[in-house]
Amino acid sequence: MKFMVMNGPNLNMLGIREPEIYGKDTYEDLKALVRAAADERGVEVEFYQSNHEGDLVDKIQEAFMRHFDGIVINPAAYTHTSVALLDAVKAAKLPTVEVHISDVSKRDDFRQVSYIREACVATVMGRGFQGYVDAMDILIDKLGSKACDGAACQAGADHE
């Protein structure tokens, strides 16, 4: 199994950026944690971070073209604004889990909107970096328990 682990704007600033919300650990620490968990699970991961919406769209399309099995994505601020990312996930039809380090449900009103959520099989929030590992486990579970033909995975029936 091969997952694309994607992060949106300002997540390269983890450790520096609002540590009281996002913690003191860096983006490199995040990658190390996720890679170790992926190794334990026998899963391949590729990481991508960008501050640019179109680059994130390109990467989602690339995940489709290169036959990845799933996507873990923290779209960061683009969660709350981007129809383009929603459309990209719908087009790619890969099982996708939305992750937020913080619990966005308890934050500003403008963070209550997630455009991408309807195309995701699950959302994990407020679990810190562990949320990315949880997201991988959700994908492993989904992909292992049933053949995921895209359409079924897009339905979001058991969105968590």
**Residues binding ligand DQA (CB under 6 A):** 10, 74, 76-77, 79, 100-102, 104, 111
Q: Which is nearer to ligand DQA, 115 or 148 (CB)?
A: 115
Selected catalytic residue, list 22, 48, 115, 132? 22
CB of 79 to ligand DQA, least distance (A): 6
Selected catalytic residue, list 48, 100, 115, 132? 100
Q: Which is nearer to ligand DQA, 31 or 111 (CB)?
A: 111
Task: Tell me whether residue 100 is one of the annotated catalytic residues.
Answer: yes
Helix (H, G, I), strand (E, B) or coil at 49: strand
Q: How far apart are CA 51 and CA 11, in angstroms?
A: 8
Task: Tell me whether residue 159 is one of the annotated catalytic residues.
Answer: no
Q: How far apart are CA 75 and CA 54, in angstroms?
A: 12
CB of 25 to ligand DQA, least distance (A): 13
Q: Closest Cα to residue 34, out of 57, 53, 14, 20?
A: 14
Q: Which is nearer to ligand DQA, 2 or 107 (CB)?
A: 107
CB of 23 to ligand DQA, least distance (A): 10
Two tokens at 46?
Answer: 């590729």
Q: Which is nearer to ligand DQA, 77 or 152 (CB)?
A: 77
Neighbouring residues of 138: CB distance < 8 A, sequence distance ≥ 6: 97, 121, 122, 124, 160
Positive or negative, the Cα torsion across 5, 22, 56, 32? negative
Strand-by-strand arrangement of the 122-125 sheet:
44-49, 2-7, 70-74, 96-100, 122-125
CB of 43 to ligand DQA, least distance (A): 22
Which residues are designated catalytic? Answer: 22, 100
